[in-house]
Chain A
């Protein structure tokens, strides 16, 4: 009887232990897996685990700044898997982290405009989202209106062959013109 009880307790403990760790063991089920293995499989694991709501943000670890900041740094460095992961979970982010993500996606667009536009097709985005992703300028251009105008016009030129983004090209030009007006005021 005593032996049977020990076996039963051990079995329940093992089952409970398996249930508790199964979510973490799923390959790519958290954004922490992306820096370790930035592959399409890891991204697909994250995509299948993420459902877009606040609970899901917590489950995939996108509610913590540290893991998310690593993803943003990878995007800045041109990592396409990190960009996919960011496009998937960025609505989990807020404040300075969200701003860093938009600055990073703008820099990714500067390097790889065609690849960036191609990736956007796979995600549901509002015009406001797309504008933030492309028009947000790097921190290094702060206080330098000439540099900001140069980047905005370069991004506008990169969109020239995409008729579906003509509205965004117009927005980028409007931003450049606002900066020119500020420069003229300051003279």
Chain B
């Protein structure tokens, strides 16, 4: 899926689910910007059974922002996820690193994504250099 923004203001993060186990959902994550040429393609992992029964995140398009706190790597947080709060793209390797969030990586295996920090750095680099709005498009059922 490719999202285009005629005003050149958006970074688009497309998350496409394609593999389901009893513990996790994995898929691809691709990031593009209409302002800069760099893109990122990698994988993502979600906890299939987080404590909030309304998660994983329903398929749809969400506005997002960079959540910055001292002492930890920045995160991308989605706005207006139905019946959920603090849904983010953040570091992690295994399903129990996520409570309804998306963990990015550059490799994947069953219930695992690898090189999460490298993937998060690449995503944040595009988002920050674009400097505009962020849209997260989630496809595939939870």
Contact = CB atoms under 8 A, between A and B. Distances in A.
A143 B99 contact: no
A175 B93 CA distance: 12
B86 A143 contact: no
B99 A95 contact: yes
A139 B72 contact: yes
A22 interface: no
Main secondary structure of the interface of B (DSSP, over half): loop
A145 to B, nearest CB: 8
B100 interface: yes
Interface stretch (A6-14, A41-49, A96-104, A114-122): A96-104
Of the four ranges (under 10, 10 to 19, 20 to 34, 35 or more), the interface on chain B belongs to 20 to 34
A172 to B, nearest CB: 11
A95 B100 contact: yes
> Quick one: which of B81, B91, B93, B99 has the most chain A CB within 10 A?
B99
B99 A137 contact: no
A142 B92 contact: yes
Contacts of A128: 51
B77 A136 contact: no
Contacts of A139: 72-73, 90-92
Main secondary structure of the interface of A (DSSP, over half): helix
Nearest to B100: A95
B101 A99 contact: yes
B96 A95 contact: no
> Quick one: which of B51, B109, B112 has the most chain A CB within 10 A?
B51
A100 B55 CA distance: 17
B76 to A, nearest CB: 10
Give 8 closest A-B pairs by Cβ, nearest first.
Answer: A95-B86, A96-B88, A97-B86, A98-B99, A95-B87, A142-B91, A99-B99, A94-B85
Given A96-B87, A98-B99, 14 more contacts: A94-B55, A95-B84, A95-B87, A96-B86, A96-B90, A97-B85, A98-B51, A102-B99, A132-B96, A139-B72, A142-B93, A142-B116, A148-B93, A182-B109
Interface of B: 51-52, 55, 67, 69, 71-73, 75, 77, 81, 84-88, 90-94, 96-101, 109, 112, 114-118
Interface of A: 63, 65, 69, 73, 91, 93-99, 102, 128, 132, 135-137, 139, 142-143, 148, 175, 182, 185
23 contacts: A65-B85, A91-B51, A94-B52, A94-B85, A96-B67, A96-B77, A96-B86, A96-B88, A96-B101, A97-B86, A98-B86, A98-B99, A99-B98, A99-B99, A135-B96, A137-B97, A142-B92, A142-B97, A143-B115, A143-B116, A143-B117, A148-B93, A185-B109
